[in-house]
Structure 1
Amino acid sequence: MTPAPASRRFPSLCHWGAFTATVENGRLVGCTPFPRDPAPSPMLAALPAMVHSPLRITRPAVREGWREGKPRTGHDAFREISWDEALDLVAGELTRVHAAHGPTAVFGGSYGWSSAGRVHHARTLVRRFLALGGGFVDQIANYSFGAAQTLLPHILGTFQPVTGRATDWPSVISNAKLMIAFGGLALKNSQVGSGGVGAHDTETWLRRARAAGVGFVNVSPVNADAPEFLDAEWIPIRPNTDVVLMLGMAHVLLSEGRHDTTFLERYCAGFDRFADYLVGKTDGTAKTPEWAEEICGVPAQKIRELARRAADVPTYMTATWSLQRAHHGEQPYWALITLAAMLGGIGLPGQGFGFGHGSIHGPGLPRLSLPGPEIPPPPNPAKCAIPVARIADMLLDPGGTYEFNGERLTYPDIRLVYWAGGNPFHHHQDLNRLQRAFQKPETVIVHESWWTPTARHADIVLPATTTLERNDVGGTSRDPFVFAMHKAIAPVGEAKNDIDIFAALAERLGYAEAFTQGRDEMAWCRLVYQGIRDGAAKKGIDLPSFQQFWAEGVIELPAPERDYVLMEEFRADPVAHRLGTPSGKIEITSDVVQRFGYDDAPPHPAWLPPAEWLGATEAQRFPLHLLTNQPVRRLHSQTDPGPVSVAGKILGREAIRLAPDDAAARGLRDGDIVRVFNARGACLAGVVIDSGLAANVAVMPTGAWFDPSPSGDGLDVHGNPNVLTPDIGTSRLTQGSSAQSTLVEVEKFVGALPPIRAFDPPSLARDAAPV
């Protein structure tokens, strides 16, 4: 009898949870969740198949037709080459472009979800490599909360409240009586966290809050955005109109004298000018509940009841990140802060406002305030960066001007794109436009582990290891655990980790010592851990040595001695702890923003109709508002070819949820394949009828791998909704993503279903002849 293969176990971490990897005969065969995790993510089950997927890139490859200038189609053939030849090609292209066009002709693309490990964090590494090499065009802000990241410093002096540092759940549980969640509290989103998740305990805290008597209100077009056990009151609002509901509530507080005048006078600036707008002195329109009802669809009486209820009891209000990913997405965030200021609870235990609940793991979880395990990149000599959501604009309009946060700027002329970590053919909007934009650069270089849509749109592809094929340290400032990530298997094929790739390139380009700093992989792991240890020591906490940490695989930081309350110090003494705004106060009206003179970003919260919403003229052609949310079976586009994600598809296509009446009006039933379309493009999807949706609302998860039809008709056959979303900035102030302002129509697909090719590796020539 053949003996069973010996199993080996290794601690590791991914963005959706910590786990122990089980390896047999050099292959990952299982992932056992972290024992302290009360609600492990089912996405862990996808990892073995993904690590050993036929979609793994096993050798460096060059796109056929690159040298001839043939367009990138996403379905091109590639030819595999040796590492030496690939590295020489990349070094040569960087040298050529720098010499001919300067550092602002090189764009360093990346996105932070590449790895939970901080040593092999691709965005940090590509920025360090390109900065040390003379400079590059960087990205600022992000897709997740880019509008808020630029807006909040004008209101609060910092954007930190949007990154997850919110009033602790114990404070809310002990003091709040009402929690109003604009955008909901979807548990599926708390399954993931940048830098990893130790214990998925958001559900635990929500259940404790409900048991303590906290009442919940879910303001969202989607009933499922609040878990059933909360018994939340559902207010099905029209998408993109949350600011209107908030303005109606604010009008009630003002007209009935329920606003906290003492707080507004002592801690805020510019409320008088906002009040003039609220009552109609500035534009002739009072923002009454009746006015709000016509726009947002919430009955005026319900608006009054909600405002009065919030004023009568200690209330905590939240807004998801998704609200600001819309045209004029700054306004609901500004209005929420203003509404909380009118209620007067900011800085008090369990009251005020928070952001990101229902968007990611971490907001409100008690954690000692220590920096996360990060390695900051060096300064960029080029001193040039664009808002991340403006990538296609930059590539399509070199030399064109745009406005951003008070500045008039010029797009650089990009000749080379260097991308490591992330998938812009998932994150970006109007993917057909992005595909056209990707024809502009002379060369696109990508580090990738799988043949993703981004890798397929590259000219030179360098195979990168996964987290299971290298050593690392993982953790985040939103979670109390720090994890050792042990190398579990040998690199698949000829894959190399990003540090080694960049070090080899830096050697060819003459700055290897500056890049590596004389450290190997384990030395970088020690450095990252020592940073955490030093930060803890400053607070009198003695963490284990690196040797002990590495051997045990995890440390847990001690719980904080007291609850954290957002803006508590400012509340106690607004002079000693003045905010970083010009007035030192919460700026309900911002003189700085007013001086910018933007007609799409007024100096205080306001209702500005989005380019696309159910009240727009365009809704006559495309009468459904499409909301694109985080999928439950994957993280963004990660592991989409894996078994967990694939099991949720309908005939291989992504699902679209429709309300019963909307489906019936189109003659649709569960399981039908439909064409979802607007003027920008179309995609195929499988119907799921959902009685928990507001009327005229459709919902699709993002992240299905982009699979454009070879016919060039703008159809994505797999179900990526970002072929439909508009690639416009939230405003000239913040230039964030406007993905949630999308109108579509849906019709039953007729004819033979086109094949899905997203999960088929490209045609590969196996010879290693010189290019």
Structure 2
Amino acid sequence: MIVYQQHSSHWGLFTAARTPDGLDVVADSDDPDPAPLLRNIPASLDERVRVLAPHVRKGWLDGQSERGGDEYVPVSWPAAIELAASELDRVRGTYGNEAIYGGSYGWGSAGRFHHAQSQIHRFLNVIGGYTRSVNTYSLGASRPLLQHVVGNDDPIVRPTAWPVLAKHTEHFVCFGGIPAKNSQVNAGGVSRHAVAGHLRRARARGAWFTLISPLRDDLAPELGARWLAPVPGTDTALMLALSHVLIERGWHAEEFLRTHCVGFDEFWKYLSGAADGIVKSPQWAESVCGIDAAVIVGLAESMATRRTMVTLSWSLQRARYGEQPLWAGIALACVLGQIGLPGGGFGHGYGAMAGIGMRPLPYPLPTLPQGENRVREYIPVARIADMLLNPGQEYDYNGERRRYPDIRLVYWAGGNPFHHHQDLARLTEAFRRPETVLVHEPFWTATARHADIVFPTTTTLERNDLGCAKEDRALIAMRQVTPPLGQARSDFEIFTALAEKLGVAAEFTEGRDEWAWLAHLYEQWRQASAAGPDFRRFWEIGRLELSGDSDDQVLYDRFRADPAGNPLPTPSGRIELFSRRIGSFGYADCPGHPIWLVPEELQVPPGAGDFPLFLVANNPATRLHSQLDHGATSAESKIHGREPLRMHPTDAAYRALSAGDVVRVVSATGSALAAVVISDSVRPGVVQLATGAWFDPSAPDVATCIHGNPNAVTRDIGTSRLAQGCTGQLTRVEVQGFAAAPPPLRIYDPPVAQEN
């Protein structure tokens, strides 16, 4: 008898069962807009790419060869646990716990107990701590900047809610767009995909949409948006010019700027040219971003005469000087003076995830406690290669002068740094430096292939869990769909075995197995939320609808009504157009107010030099990050097995390229093979290659990655000394025809040594 079990994922709820034809996945019937990514899920059980037993790198055992191109030999679980425990003991005993880097990115599962990041942090804290990372690749520049400018993350976690926008906003001005593909996913899951519906309701009511992006499909065609396609990386210049027009023509909110902001005088000195001799006029911006000056003036007038929401995508800040477009966008909203009004102001990340713009729950979620980390060392997450390659080197971060620790052991569970990071050849070199690398992985990804010991982990389908997200309205019993494949174990089981070997099992498990932990976390949540039946009844029901605050949230409404009584947590209590604290750091790459800084990508004019094209490396529509790249939806998008590269017809014709041609994408950093898709939805002079193709360096004489991972060609450099965020969104490239037969992909072939 085939029994379908309810489960959850970052891209939606579903039921699934093993059938004679394989895993059958059915989208939840209550979801109005199910994500196509659900079709990737059956590939979770593809044994061809699964790590089915513990493996040890052959060269690590015999002291030969390097990580990244070695073979692996299977070992027993007791042998793998013994080797890993011995290495952990050796490193912490010889060098201290700060020599252990605990890597994880947290996207492995929508479940809250089997959350890999929580599991590895809890284990490492129990054995004395570890060097950690702060911030994310997604928001590396945003969070440090927002702490100074508005005092917290509210523009991300508590922006004006979608129902308010759908009812009140008259003009959506979308810098970077609101891409539908990104709103398919949400950390912790999404029970109902609602973003597209809210946008359609706003459009039906008569709202205007202006899309500012080099990609036309960063906003759904049905919204009828006006498309402005600036030179990539020049949004800041456009925002500054819009602010200049509003102020010069008297369309600005003088009272709001006086009562709710600080630093307007310094900001205006810069805009007017009094500070540097350059007036940030529409004519100036036209020369920078390629948008006609008259269009800029018209846009400013429309924004001033309508209830306008300035939306700022996360992609804007994933580039050199990424702090500036976010700060300039906030300043633009301040000049308009609609912050705190229903449907007006600004928001950061609408469409970046399904939960952005949904009212967060007023009580905590059931989550595994991580304990206390007694090691104080940390790095900004995108600086991992710098840390591994340059132990002891000093660097600036957010007003501090810090020093990279000397990492001897990397322990990674959850996430794939060979997806998120830039300049993958450099990351490969960096991963060769530690004495030991331990990795938990279900699949033979590039991260697993750079480990010394690979522990095979279960996928979410192979265990029980609790699924929930702080912005969602459902708590899900994620019931196990299938037994573990091969010898796979959950992260919890692996860490429990290591904790037993190291004598700290009682502290790690607290005497609970998986089922007891689920019951414990649920009951703790039930007491805090005062909702729901007992655990056994909940597990029988399988789903609880959660109540929360009403969806009428307006960002900074109370601050607008009374800035003295409801101040922001900034030094001034107001929005800081000029931050004395940032200014005191003395960073030329991030001074005390929004400023136009020319990124390296623009120091050679567009269309000129060895790398005349801009590459936009954005999130994929066919998978979440690199997860299940071999799944059906992801695989169907590839051409000749390579990731598709979109380019404008004029750029393709100039290079005598046709649709489907395999090409070599080359930058000053590296190269990648991809396949051409010709589209007029891409600005001329721009090519687009999504992230997430599993990194395949198996033919280095052909390309750094023969599969099409754009991080083979992106630069590994921080946004600025303030945030040291990721800059992987943009780089300069050339696209060359590749006449030879492309080499076969090796990334899906397990690197297991053959028995003699």
Q: Please report the TM-score for the alignment, with normalisation by the length of structure 2.
A: 0.98
- 8 Å CA contact 2:164–2:551 kept in 1: the answer is no
The answer for the alignment partner of 1:457 in structure 2 is 450
In structure 2, which of residues 323, 345, 358 is the aligned counterpart of residue 352 of structure 1? 345
Secondary structure of residue in 2 paired with 1:30: strand
Q: Is the 8 A contact 1:673 1:686 kept in 2?
A: yes
Q: Does 1:266 align with 2:271?
A: no
- Alpha-carbon separation, structure 2, partners of 1:424 and 1:497: 20
**1:23 and 2:18 are equivalent in the alignment:** yes
Q: Is the 8 A contact 1:169 1:205 kept in 2?
A: yes
Q: Is the 8 A contact 1:21 1:28 kept in 2?
A: no
The equivalent of 2:135 in structure 1 is 141
The code of the aligned residue for 2:238 comes to L
Change (3 A) 1:680 1:432: same
Q: Which residue of 2 aligns with 1:120?
A: 114
Q: Does 1:78 align with 2:67?
A: no
> How far is 1:105 from its partner?
0.9
1:278 corresponding residue in structure 2: 271
3-state SS of paired residue (2:716): coil
Q: How many residues align?
A: 756
Deviations 1:331-367 (A, max 9, x none): 0110111111111111111111111112111222355
Which residue does 1:417 correspond to in 2? Answer: 410
Looking at structure 2, the residues matched to 369 and 304 of structure 1 have their Cα atoms a distance apart, in angstroms, of 42
The answer to whether the Cα contact below 8 Å between 1:10 and 1:486 also exists between their aligned partners in 2 is: yes
The amino acid that maps onto 2:273 is G
Task: Tell me which amino acid in the other structure corresponds to 1:301.
Answer: A
Structure 1 position 596, deviation (Å): 0.4
Residue of structure 1 in register with 2:601 after alignment: 612
2:439 alignment counterpart: 446
Query: Is the 1:315–1:350 contact (alpha carbons within 8 Å) kept by the matching residues of 2?
Result: yes
Q: How does 1:298-447 map to 2 (within 5 A)?
A: 298-366=291-359, 368-447=361-440
CA distance in 1, matches of 2:369, 2:536: 24
CA distances 1:137-192 after superposition (whole Å, capped 9, x unpaired): 10100001111011100001102322x42211221122221111100111011111
**Equivalent in the alignment of 1:672:** 661
Give the fraction of aligned pairs with identical amino acids, expressed as a percent. Answer: 49
Aligned partner of 1:442: which letter? E
Q: Which residue of 2 aligns with 1:3?
A: none
Amino acid at match of 2:612: P
SS at match of 1:65: helix
- In the other structure, the counterpart of 1:529 is 522
Between the aligned partners of 1:69 and 1:745, the Cα distance in structure 2 is 40
Q: Is the 8 A contact 1:612 1:619 kept in 2?
A: no
Q: Deviation per CA, 1:261-307: give whole Å up to 9, x if none.
A: 11111111111101110101111101000000000111111111111
Asked whether the 8 Å contact 2:173–2:212 carries over to 1, the reply is yes
Preserved contact between residue 80 and residue 766 of structure 1 (Cα < 8 Å): no
Please point out which of 88, 91, 106 is paired with 2:100: 106
2:279 aligns to what SS in structure 1?
coil
| Cα deviation, residue 70, structure 1 | 3.4
Deviations 1:195-252 (A, max 9, x none): 1111111111111111111111111000111111100111111111111110000000
SS of equivalent residue, structure 1 residue 114: coil
Counterpart position of 1:638: 627
**Separation in 2, partners of 1:265, 1:733:** 27
1:629 counterpart SS class: coil
Alignment counterpart, residue 48 of structure 1, candidates 23, 42, 46: 42
SS at match of 1:20: strand
What are the within-5 Å matches in structure 2 for residues 464-483 of structure 1? 464-483=457-476
CA contact (8 A) 2:158 2:360 kept: no
**Structure 2 Cα separation of the partners of residues 672 and 68 of structure 1:** 43
Check if 1:749 corresponds to 2:756.
no
With over 3 angstroms needed to count, the CA separation of the structure-2 counterparts of 1:242 and 1:15, relative to structure 1, is: same
> Counterpart of 2:174?
181
Counterpart Cα distance in 2 of 1:365 and 1:647? 32
Which of the numbers 183, 208, 212 marks the counterpart of 1:190?
183
Contact kept, 8 Å, 2:322 with 2:719, in 1: the verdict is: yes
Which consecutive residues of structure 2, in runs of 5 or more, have no partner in the other structure?
none
Deviation at 1:547, TM superposition (A): 2.3
CA distance in 1, matches of 2:607, 2:226: 31
Which stretch of structure 1 is more off in the superposition, 329-338 or 43-52?
A: 43-52
Distance 1:282 1:708 in 2: 49
Where 2:383 maps in the other structure, the secondary structure is: helix
Equivalent residue, structure 2, for 1:485:
478
Structure-1 residue corresponding to 2:152:
158
- 2:546: which partner in 1? 557
Question: Following the alignment from structure 1 to structure 2, what is the Cα–Cα distance between the partners of residues 28 and 518?
Answer: 37
C-alpha deviation, 1:575, in angstroms:
2.1
2:362 partner SS: coil
2:447 match: secondary structure: helix
**Which amino acid in 2 is paired with 1:189?**
N
| From 220, 228, 240, the counterpart of 1:235 | 228
- Taking the aligned partners of 2:410 and 2:592, their CA distance within structure 1 comes to 37
User: 1: distance between equivalents of 2:373 and 2:273?
Assistant: 48
Q: 2:3 aligns with which of 8, 27, 33?
A: 8
Is the 1:613–1:742 contact (alpha carbons within 8 Å) kept by the matching residues of 2?
no
Q: Structure 1 residues 364 and 10, CA, compared in 2 at 3 Å: closer, same or farther?
A: same
| Structure 2: distance between partners of 1:533 and 1:73 | 47
The 1-side partners of 2:134 and 2:303 are apart by 36
Q: Deviations over 1:608-640 (max 9, x none)?
A: 011113755895110110001111111111111
Separation of aligned partners in 2, 1:312 and 1:759: 55
Deviation at residue 40 of structure 1 after TM alignment? 1.1
Indicate which of 575, 582, 599 corresponds to 2:571: 582
Could you tell which deviates more after superposition, 408-417 or 750-759?
A: 750-759
Secondary structure of the corresponding residue to residue 733 of structure 2: strand
The 1-side partners of 2:130 and 2:718 are apart by 23
Separation in structure 1 between the aligned mates of residue 445 and residue 520 of structure 2, nearest angstrom:
32
Between the aligned partners of 1:688 and 1:710, the Cα distance in structure 2 is 23
CA distance in 2, matches of 1:549, 1:681: 52
CA contact (8 A) 1:49 1:642 kept: yes
Unaligned residue ranges in structure 1 (runs of 5+):
1-5
Give the one of 210, 216, 223 matched to 1:223. Answer: 216
Which amino acid counterpart does residue 52 of structure 1 have in structure 2? D
Q: Residue 592 of structure 1 aligns to a residue in which SS?
A: helix
SS of 1:67's equivalent?
helix
Q: Paired residue for 1:94, among 88, 107, 113?
A: 88
- Which residue of 2 is the match for residue 37 of structure 1? 31
Residue in 1 aligned with 2:749? Answer: 760
The 1:344–1:532 alpha-carbon spacing in structure 2 relative to 1, beyond 3 Å, is farther
Which residue of the other structure, out of 504, 510, 525, is the alignment partner of 2:503? 510
Kindly report the root-mean-square deviation, in angstroms, between the aligned alpha carbons of the 2 structures. 1.6
8 Å CA contact retained: 2:646, 2:679: yes
TM-score with structure 1 setting the length? 0.96
Corresponding residue to 2:242 among 246, 249, 258:
249
Does the aligned pair in 1 maintain the 2:253–2:335 contact within 8 Å?
Answer: yes
Helix, strand or coil for the counterpart of 2:123? helix
Aligned residue for 1:131, secondary structure, equals helix
Q: 1:529: Cα distance to partner?
A: 2.6
Greater Cα offset, 722-731 or 633-642: 633-642
In the TM superposition, what is the alpha-carbon distance from 1:50 to its structure 2 partner?
A: 2.4
SS at match of 2:515: helix
Whole-Å Cα distance in 1 between the matches of residues 28 and 59 of structure 2? 47
